[in-house]
Amino acid sequence: MKAQPCPKCKEPMDEGSMSWSGSGSSGYVSKQQTGMLRVVTKISTARACPACGYVEMYLDPQELKKKIT
Ligand SMILES: [Zn+2]
């Protein structure tokens, strides 16, 4: 994957993934998921700017669509 510049300061961004230590099921939950079982969508990719600290996160859009439609 090609490195994208930071949207804030145009510095090259570092790519990685989100990690919540101690929990294996953290991720994104839509407000449209109103059921008892709110299955999180895993954040598959994250990018952080080493210059300003901006972080952007990406999940699997296909996986999210299945949960909110
Ligand atoms: Zn930046």
* CA 32 / ligand 1 centre spacing (Å): 31
- The answer to whether position 53 is within a domain reads yes
Q: 6 lies in a domain?
A: no
Q: Is residue 57 in a domain? A: yes
pLDDT of 2 over the 70 cut: no
Task: Give a yes or no: residue 20 inside a domain.
Answer: yes
Number of domains in the chain: 1
Distance from Cα 33 to the centre of ligand 1, integer Å: 32
Tell how far the Cα of 47 is from the centroid of ligand 1, in angstroms. Answer: 10
**Per-residue pLDDT tens over the stretch 23-61:** 655 788 999 998 877 788 988 899 999 999 999 999 999
| 48 closest CA partner among 36, 40, 58 | 58
Position 49 in a domain: yes
Classify residue 7: in a domain, yes or no.
no
Pairing between strand 14-16 and 55-59?
A: unpaired
Is residue 44, in this structure, part of any structural domain at all? yes
Q: Name the residue range of residue 51's domain.
A: 14-68
